[in-house]
C-alpha cells in the first residue's frame, strides 16, 4: 500500500497537493470524511462542509460556523469523549484495502504515527501567509514531526512538482 498523510495550516496547499496525487493514481480520503458526512446529514452543503462557506455562521448550527462544528465534533466530542482514535479507526476501516491513499487532513500525532506504522510518509506544507496569529484549536496545532517538509511559495504547478519529487525521493 502506498500511503501519504498531508498536514499544514489552513490555506497552505494541502488540497492542491492531494489533487496532484489523485492524478497520479492515489485515492484521496480525508481523516475527517465520516465527520463531514455527519454535517451533510444535517443538511449542510458541499460549500459549507468543504468549500468557501466553512467560516460562515449558520442558524442551523446555533450561529456557529461549519469549521467550528467540525473542530468541536472532531476533537471535543470524538477524540475527548468517545475515543482518541475514533476518527483514525473509521478512516482505516474505509481505506485499508485501497492500494494508494492520500489523507489531506492529518492533524494529530497518533494519526501521523499510525500512517508511518503502515509504511506511509507525512508531508507538512508550509505557506508563509504573513504575521497572523497561529490557530488556537488543538486540531490545528500540528504538534508532531513530519517526514517531509515543503515550502509553498510559488505556483500551483510548482507545488505539485515539489510534492511529487518529495515522494519520489522518499521512495513512495
DSSP secondary structure code for residue 77 in this structure: I
- Looking at residue 131, its pLDDT comes to 46
- In 3D space, the residue among 129, 131, 169 whose CA is nearest the CA of residue 149 turns out to be 169
What domain range is 6 assigned to?
2-29+98-170
Residue 130 lies in a domain: yes
Q: How far apart are the C-alpha atoms of 62 and 65, rounded to whole Å? A: 9
Residue 60 lies in a domain: no
Residue 105 lies in a domain: yes
Residue 13 lies in a domain: yes
- Cβ neighbors of 4 (< 8 A, separation 6 or more) are 21, 26, 101, 102, 103, 115, 120, 121, 122, 123, 167, 172
Higher-confidence position of 170 and 27: 27
Q: How many domains does the chain have?
A: 1
pLDDT digits (tens, 9 = 90+) for 115-165: 999 999 999 999 886 544 456 655 565 667 899 999 999 999 999 999 999
Higher-confidence position of 137 and 34: 34
Report the predicted TM-score, pTM, of the whole model to 2 decimal places.
0.84
Residue 86 lies in a domain: no
Residue 43 lies in a domain: no
pLDDT digits (tens, 9 = 90+) for 62-76: 999 999 999 899 989
User: What are the helix (H) ranges across the chain?
Assistant: 14-23, 33-42, 46-50, 66-71, 86-95, 109-117, 156-170
CA distances 5 to 8, 39, 148, Å, are 10, 23, 10
Residue 9 lies in a domain: yes
Residue 102 lies in a domain: yes
How many alpha carbons lie under 13 Å from residue 169 in its C-beta half-sphere?
A: 11
Amino acid at each position: 500500500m502506498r500511503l501519504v498523510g498531508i498536514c499544514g495550516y489552513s490555506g497552505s496547499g494541502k488540497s492542491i497537493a492531494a489533487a496532484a496525487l489523485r492524478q497520479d493514481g492515489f485515492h484521496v480520503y480525508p481523516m475527517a470524511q465520516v465527520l463531514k458526512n455527519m454535517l451533510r446529514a444535517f443538511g449542510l452543503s458541499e460549500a459549507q462542509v468543504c468549500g468557501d462557506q466553512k467560516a460562515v455562521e449558520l442558524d442551523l448550527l446555533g450561529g456557529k460556523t461549519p469549521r467550528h462544528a467540525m473542530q468541536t465534533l472532531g476533537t471535543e466530542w470524538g477524540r475527548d469523549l468517545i475515543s482518541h482514535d475514533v476518527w483514525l479507526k473509521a478512516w482505516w476501516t474505509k481505506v485499508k484495502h485501497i492500494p494508494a491513499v492520500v489523507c489531506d487532513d492529518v492533524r494529530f500525532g497518533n494519526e501521523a504515527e499510525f500512517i508511518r506504522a503502515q509504511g506511509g510518509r507525512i508531508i507538512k506544507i508550509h505557506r508563509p501567509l504573513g504575521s497572523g496569529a497561529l490557530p488556537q484549536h488543538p486540531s490545528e496545532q500540528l504538534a508532531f514531526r513530519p517526514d517531509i517538509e515543503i515550502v509553498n511559495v510559488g505556483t500551483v504547478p510548482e507545488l505539485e512538482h515539489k510534492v511529487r519529487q518529495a515522494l519520489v525521493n522518499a521512495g513512495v
